[in-house]
Amino acid sequence: MKRQPIVCVVGPTAIGKTDLSLDLAQALHGEIVSADSMQVYRHMDIGTGKIPVVDRRSITHHMIDVVDPWVPFTVHEFAQMARSVLSDLDARQRIPIVVGGTGLYVKALIDHFDFAQTDRDPSLRDALTQEAERVGAPVLHERLRAKDPLSATRIHPNDLRRVIRALEIVERTGRPVEANRSQERPPYAPILIGLTGERERLYQRIERRIDHMVEEGLVAEVERLLALGCDETHTAMQAIGYKEILQYVRGTCSLEAAVAAVKQASRRYAKRQWSWFRADSRIVWYEWAEDGMMLDVVLPFIEEQLERLG
């Protein structure tokens, strides 16, 4: 069976993935498929770095604004929805440009991972949740590290929802999360482009981006989400930028302290993204150029791979 070619642009936050994806979509007459775990949520525009519609160059974007932020949304649901999009693009002979920094979303899509076969256990999940309330999330994360070091590396100790889900899978099956994934032969032929750059320059870009988000109204966006009924219990509100600004809105810290916390969390997230993507030997890495010449550097390689795939 001929596999569908998919161009993927990956890398840490603020490295320049959006600009390159727009250039590639125009050059290849493709459409963009977001692989960002927070841009799936409606009403969360500024803090997730969504590109405004007016700046999308009339290029169709998929997997943005597909669910309300108070609705639980899993990587399995993302993969199912995104695969439907890919199927439609294939039927219309359009090249998908998958772009995003959520490594698990990218991998679940292009490698056809599927968690659906691992049944959930509400009683076990409740027990783990109650234990976390008693002893704290870091204790559960250390247990996960002992049983499934790879998953523990990929999941932040404070991401209690994902820690509990991973422990649920491990304790129910006796196997690491990776071993429980359905790995049928994927129907896709991914061409993976990774963007990298000097770390300190990236951190400067991250800090400028966050300052811009605050200037654009991030605080008001968090207040609107609260008015819609979102709070700390919803996964969407645990996103970087939202949970820190929420503390300011609640009156527990100053705006200056909240913004500093967002910047620190974003720098740490960029490090984790680098670690995740560096582990994938299929990715061809390119140094980000500030002069707007990335398309000229990357496009010949992509066109060569597309021709090879037929």
Percent of the chain with pLDDT over 90: 68
Q: Does residue 81 sit in the same domain as residue 8?
A: yes
CATH code, 126: 1.10.20.140
For residue range 97-128, what is the model confidence (pLDDT) as tens digits?
999 999 989 998 998 765 555 556 677 777 78
Q: Same domain for 147 and 290?
A: no
pLDDT exceeds cutoff 90 at 156: no
Domain match, 92 and 158 both? no
Q: Do 101 and 219 share a domain, yes or no? A: yes
One domain for residues 286 and 145? no
Distance CA 281, CA 284 (A): 8
Mean pLDDT estimate for the chain: 90
Q: Which pLDDT score is estimated for 114?
A: 59
Q: Please compute Rg for the chain using Cα positions.
A: 20
Confidence of residue 1 (pLDDT cuts 50, 70, 90): low
Structural domain range at position 42: 4-115+187-309
211/138: higher pLDDT: 211
pLDDT 10s digits, 165-192: 888 888 877 778 777 665 566 789 999 9
Q: How many domains is the chain built from?
A: 2
For 196-234, write each residue's pLDDT tens digit: 999 999 999 999 999 999 999 999 999 999 999 999 889
The arithmetic mean of pLDDT across residues 11-24, rounded, is 95
Query: What's the rounded mean pLDDT across residues 156-173?
Result: 84
Mean pLDDT of 251-264: 97
Quick one: average pLDDT of 260-268?
96
pTM of the model: 0.81
160 lies in the same domain as 216: no
Do 68 and 196 fall within a single domain?
A: yes
108 shares its domain with 130: no
Angstrom distance (rounded) from CA 18 to CA 237: 23
The DSSP bridge partners found for residue 33 are 62, 98
